[in-house]
Amino acid sequence: MWKVYLRQIRRLLRENKFFSVVYILGTALSVTMIMLILITYYINTGNIGVVDKRDRMFFVTRSYTVKPGKDISGNNFYKAFQGSAPLSHKMLEKYMYPLQVPEAKSIVGQTQSAVYNKNKQVYEEKSVACVDADYWKIFSMRFLVGRPFTEAEVKSKAPQVVIDESTARALFGKIDVVGYPVEINWKEYRVCGVVEDVPSYLSDAYAHLWYPYTTESRCLFSSDSEDLKDVYGPMKMYVLAHDRGDQERIRQEMEHQIQQMNAPAKRSQFVLNHQPDTALESVFRMSSDPYEKIYSRMQIVFIIIVVLLVLPAINLSGLIVARMKKRAGEIGVRKAFGASVGELMRQFFWENFVQMLIGGVVGLCLSYGIFQLVRETLLVSYRTMNMAAKVGHVDMLNFFHVVNMHTICYVLGICFLLNLISTLVPAWRYARIPIVDALNRR
């Protein structure tokens, strides 16, 4: 049976070239557009490269302060709102380090630093991450030589630095540089490890140099909101849970910690505003909005995806109806020889599915190409914003970070849905035509 189907599909494709081209183009277009969205989603949320535990990662990126005792649900949030900024290390150390539920908690500050390049005798601005020891548990950086800095070293403000391969080559011309001095912001650090480069589109882990946040004076400032001490600062926190379902438990534990923090203050109150976020939620979190806005932003994207599916599906459906009309005779013959409605519908479905898959493959390739071109536009989020906003560039995407089992599954899914929507109605209508009528039509 399969062989007959395949032969028939090949014939159909060849017989009506115009139809096939329009059909495949239509599908490819739709798949390209949806894949652009899904690849963006995947790059921001998938377990890719060194960020291989992202499904268990949660993010606390901002502190929000409101007037105490006010209703902060929905749009009432704006009335009670006092301010919002990233968090201070003092507050995170005191209230978030004691959390019991998560496996690891890391204080992170991404910024730019002046690094002295001895070869060129100039200071160069480099992306750096000021982190603690738990950071190395959350991400799976591959150490080419050396080791990460330890908790004791972070506490004792030891000037240790982990650098990436390209920086090691730029500064020293080789990678075996453990113990070598590096001058960062005019302070001397010692290299304790060298890791493989992290592409900049993995923005959570991205940096060229990593050193303890306790040694960076810019990470250590904090400011108050009214009588609430040390809420604002330049830092954020990554939390690694044991299980991806732990979000709600972590949130409850955080809420508990925050009660202690809010207890002495009268005129201002710290709220989590529904943090910690999953990777997806944190992409849609922007500065000073109530968290419901995150979901309304997601809805827009969802609506766009639905439109991108439905509109081409109606188009293709129109095409299929037109073609069915021509094949009415064939349907009649098939039915006369005992084919059931279900069998005929299955046949139409698979026929179109194969044509669609060709479009899907073309679409996937197209979307990879287009994604490279527009990656600077697609791969931005508030989460990636630095302490000092500086122009950053997005690296070329690794082919296997875009085209892999996940994305191929997405394409299959899109084709299946598109096919289902577009063939179902016409196939149902034409498969049920009485035999005599079908045979009578040309």
Partner 1 sequence: MWSHMFKLIANQWRSNLWIMVELFMSFVCIWLVADVLASLLSRKFKDKGFDLEHVYMVSYYTKSGDVFSYDAGSVSEDELRELAERIRRYPGVEAVGFASGGAFPYTGTVNGHEYFGDTVKAWAVDGFLSPDMVRVLRLTSAEPELDLEREAGRGDISLLSKTLIKTLTRSDATRIRFYTNDKRNNAHMGVRSNYVTDEYNDTGEERCLWAFWPEARLLKKRPQGSVEMFIRVRPEADHGFHDTFMTTMRERLTAGNTSIVGLTPMKDYRHYILGLMGINMMYGTSYFLSAFFLVCAFLGIIGTFWFRTEARTSEIGLRMALGATRRQVRRQMIGEGLMLFALVWIPGLVVVYLLRDVFSVYEVPLSAGWLFVILTVITTLVMALLIVAGIWVPARQASRINPVDALRYE
Which of 295, 234, 226, 264 shows the shortest CA–CA distance to 65? 226
Residue 409 within binding range of partner 1, rule CB under 8 A: no
CA dist., res. 33 & res. 83, Å (int): 38
Query: Between 57 and 96, how does the x/- string for binding to partner 1 read (CB under 8 A)?
Result: ----------------------------------------
CA dist., res. 19 & res. 347, Å (int): 18
CA dist., res. 297 & res. 310, Å (int): 20
The single residue among 6, 307, 408, 420 that binds partner 1, judged by CB under 8 A, is 307
At residue 202, what are phi and psi to the nearest 5 degrees? -90, 70
Residues 181-240 that bind partner 1 (CB under 8 A): 185-188, 217-218
Minimum Å distance from CB 405 to partner 1?
Answer: 26
Residue 263 within binding range of partner 1, rule CB under 8 A: no
Residue 306 within binding range of partner 1, rule CB under 8 A: no
Minimum Å distance from CB 237 to partner 1?
Answer: 21
Give the residue with the Cβ less far from partner 1, 380 or 412: 380
Q: How many angstroms separate the Cα of 237 from the Cα of each of 14, 128, 185, 391?
A: 58, 16, 24, 23
Dihedral (Cα; 400, 403, 406, 411), 10-degree rounding: 180
Residues 376-395 that bind partner 1 (CB under 8 A): 376-378, 380, 382, 385, 389-392
The single residue among 7, 73, 98, 125 that binds partner 1, judged by CB under 8 A, is 125
AA identity, residue 336: A
Which of 201, 220, 253 shows the shortest CA–CA distance to 378? 201
Residues 350-379 that bind partner 1 (CB under 8 A): 374, 376-378
CB 128 within 8 A of CB 111: yes
Query: Where do contacts with partner 1 occur on this chain (CB under 8 A)?
Result: 18-19, 22-23, 25-26, 29-30, 33, 36, 112-114, 121-125, 185-188, 217-218, 286, 288, 293, 296-297, 299-300, 304, 307-308, 310-312, 314-315, 317-319, 321-323, 325-326, 374, 376-378, 380, 382, 385, 389-392
